[in-house]
Structure 1
């Protein structure tokens, strides 16, 4: 699992979020641990309530990424609507 594969696998999630004024950027990939860290980006403050809550977003991101990256164990999302990074979402 490398950053290029993860970035490519993010396309469906980015499309999903774009409809609500959001996006994600890849922050880190830890291939050894099988984890991916993302950062939620919002177009403006008006979009803040449109994008799904962080715990749900982490689960959706994990589900989407596992389609291309079966070795993925967890996804965390830094959410600007919260004061601290997200927690791991694992199956």
Structure 2
């Protein structure tokens, strides 16, 4: 299963000259399980930055394109991975 790895809570801000608004995003690494991460940007809008950790992509972030292709929506939501509790000995 692909895992989204947030390394830092740093937010990148870029001015959109056309609309005069600031676009906020955060760089996340997509670990496909082969030892390499594919960096991509997650748009934040006015939402707070994600804290460092491992996340999954929220299923609500997926959509179908005009030709039935699977796409991601403009703003991708990340869901923290819940680690399985280690069973207590005894």
TM class, shorter-chain normalised? under 0.3
**TM-score between the two structures when normalised by the length of structure 1:** 0.25
**TM-score between the two structures when normalised by the length of structure 2:** 0.25
Name the larger-Rg structure.
2
Which has the larger strand fraction?
Answer: 2
Which has the larger helix fraction?
Answer: 1
